[in-house]
Amino acid sequence: ACSVDPALVDEVSFEVGLPDGRPFLGFTAVPDGEGRVQAAIPGVRGGARYQVAVRSHRRGGLESNLEMWSDISAKNVTCSISAAVAGEEAAVRSPGRARGGPETRWIEVYRIAGGELADFLDQHNTGDDTAMFAALAATAPPERAITRYCVEMADVTLPGVVTASVSGEAQASPFADYLSCNGGNCECMHQVDRTISRFPAKQILGMCSHPYVDASKNTCHCPASMDAQSLRYVGRCPIPLPFGIYWSMEQLPVKIPPGYPPSYHASPTGHFYSFPAGGRCPPGARVGEGNCTWQLSPLAYTLHGDDLRRMGLNDTVSYTYGSTKQVLLESHIDYEASMHNIPVGRKAFAKLGMAPCGPGAAKAVAAPDSPAHAGAQPPILLFT
C-alpha cells in the first residue's frame, strides 16, 4: 500500500525498472482524500520481476521543480507479476476534457531531463521525435533521462502567431508563440533560439535589439498580447534541418551573422514546444476546468543518453569558435547524421512498447526485443 498526507502531497510518481536496471517507465497518481494512492500501471510483463520506487510531490509546487519532489524511496519494492494480472487490458487515459470544455488534441513530445529521472513539462521546453533525435539527443549526457510524454491540449485557433512557420509571418495557429524556458523561467523566444528556427533577420532585429532581459542573455521583447497567449497555451516553433545554432547572437549589440539564414531541407521538419505553467491543468483535472489548456498523461517512458548511443546514435556535433577559441559562435549537426539518428531514436523507444498517445484505452505491449524485457503480453501492474 502507498499512503501520503493529502494536505502536503498532491501526486505520487511510481518509477518502474528491472531489478538490476534504471527506471524505464513512470506513472503518476493522485491520492484520494484519505491519502491512499492506487495505480494500475501498464507496460510490464507477466512472470517478470520489477523494481518499483516511489517519490511524492509537495502540493502547490510546479511539477517540473525537482525541489518539490521527495527523494526517491530508499527501499525499492521488487514485484512479481502473475500471468493473470498481466493478461488484463490497461487503459491509459488522461482525465479528458471538462463538460462543455474545448475540443482537444494530443501531441507526443520528448524531453532531456536535468538528471536521471524525468522532470516533467510545466515551464519546460520539449521536442517532437524528429527534433529530439535529429538534434537534441546528440547533446544528451550519458546519464540523463530522455522521456517521452503524451499531452492533451485544447484544440484552439490563436491569432497573430509569428513562430508558427519558418517564414516568421503572423498567422493563425493551434499553438501559441514559442517561449524559451530556462531554469523554470519562460520568456519571449530567445534570439539564439530564433536562429535555430531560421526566422528572418528582420524579425530577430525587430524583436530582439534590446538589452538583456534575463540571465540567459535573452534580448527579445514580445507584445503583451503575444505574451498573454504564450503564458496560457502550448507554444511551438519549427526546427528545420540541418540543425544549427548561432551562439554569436548572445553578444551585444545583436548582429546577424554572415550567411544567415542558411539553406535547409523542406522535409523533415521537427518542432520545439513550450509548456506554460499558467495553462497546466492541476493533477486529475480535465482540460477546460478552471480554464486550464493542457494536461499531461500519467504514463511516461524513459531511456537515457547512453542507451541511445548503444543503439548506434551518432553524437557528433561541430563547433565554431571566435579567434580567441573561448567564445562559441556556432554549433551544427550534419544533415546525414540527423537522418541516421531519427530512426535510431524511434526504434529505441519503440522497443519499450509504448502506449500510443490519444484518447481512450491504450494497450501497452512491450516489443519482444525490448531493452526492458522480452516476450511481453498486454500488461498491467496493480498498486493498491
Please write the tens of the pLDDT for every residue from 183-198.
999 999 999 999 999 9
10 Å CB burial of residue 368 (0-12, 13-18, 19+) is exposed
Please give the model's pTM, rounded to 2 decimal places: 0.90
* Three-state SS sequence of 262-292: CCCEEEEEEEEEEECHHHECCCCCCECHHHC
Residues spanned by the domain of 331: 104-347
- Which is it for the CA torsion 350, 110, 232, 70, positive or negative? positive
Which cell numbers hold the place of 79? 514485484
CA distances from 304 to 11, 24, 272, 307, 340 (A): 24, 9, 20, 5, 18
How many CB atoms within 10 Å of residue 366? 27
Q: Is the domain of 195 the same as that of 47?
A: no
59 assigned to some structural domain: yes
Please indicate, yes or no, whether residues 86 and 165 belong to a single structural domain of this protein.
Answer: no
- pLDDT score, position 94: 53
- Please check whether residue 164 lies inside any domain of the structure: yes
Confidence class for position 76, pLDDT limits 50, 70, 90? low
Residue 215, sorted as left (phi over 0), alpha (psi -120 to 50) or beta, turns out to be alpha
- 305 and 279 part of one domain: yes
The 8-class DSSP code of residue 252 comes to: S
In this structure, the answer to whether residues 43 and 122 fall within a common structural domain is: no
Taking all residues of the chain, what is their mean pLDDT, rounded to a whole number? Answer: 88
Torsion sign across C-alpha atoms 53, 58, 60, 63: negative
| Judgement on whether residues 46 and 141 belong to the same structural domain of the protein | no
3-state helix, strand, coil in the chain (%, to 5): 20, 30, 50
Q: Would you say residue 357 lies in a domain?
A: no
Q: Identify whether residues 183 and 326 lie together within a single domain.
A: yes
| 213 and 154, same domain (yes or no) | yes
Question: In degrees rounded to 5, what are phi and psi of residue 195?
Answer: -70, -30
Q: pLDDT band at 346, cuts 50/70/90?
A: very high
Residues 160 and 213 placed together within one structural domain of the fold:
yes
pLDDT on residue 361: 29
Q: Do 127 and 184 belong to one domain?
A: yes
Q: Which residue has the cell 505491449?
A: 365
**58 and 113 both lie in a single domain:** no
H helix or E strand, kind and range, residue 147: strand 145-154
- pLDDT tens-place string over residues 209-253: 999 999 999 999 999 999 999 999 999 999 999 999 999 999 999
Residue-wise pLDDT tens digits, 88-147: 444 444 555 556 678 999 999 999 999 999 999 999 999 999 999 999 999 999 999 999
The set of cell numbers assigned to 213 is 532581459
Give the confidence band of 304 by pLDDT, cuts at 50, 70, 90: very high
Answer whether residue 308 is part of any domain: yes
In whole angstroms, give the CA distance from residue 264 to residue 80: 51
Percent of the chain residues past pLDDT 90, beyond the cut = 75
What is the rounded distance in angstroms from the CA atom of residue 284 to the CA atom of residue 10? Answer: 10
> What cell does 98 get?
471538462
What is the DSSP secondary-structure string of 89-108? Answer: --------BPTT---EEEEE
9 by DSSP, 3-state: which? strand
Residue 353 domain-assigned?
Answer: no
Residue 95: inside a domain? no
- Closest CA relative to residue 94, chosen from 232, 236, 283: 283
Q: How many CB atoms lie within 10 A of CB 245?
A: 19
Q: Compute the distance between CA of residue 368 and CA of residue 372 in angstroms, rounded to an integer.
A: 10
Q: For residues 176 and 235, is the Cβ–Cβ distance under 8 A? A: yes
DSSP string, 285-327: PPBTGGG--EEE-SEEEEEEHHHHHHTT-----EEEE-TTS-S
Angstrom distance (rounded) from CA 137 to CA 130: 10
Residue 195 lies in a domain: yes
Q: Are residues 289 and 372 in the same domain?
A: no
Domain count, the chain: 2
Q: What are the beta bridge partners of residue 111?
A: 147
Does residue 97 sit within a domain? no
Say if residue 173 is in the same domain as residue 271.
yes
Please list the residues that pair with 125 across neighbouring strands. Answer: 274
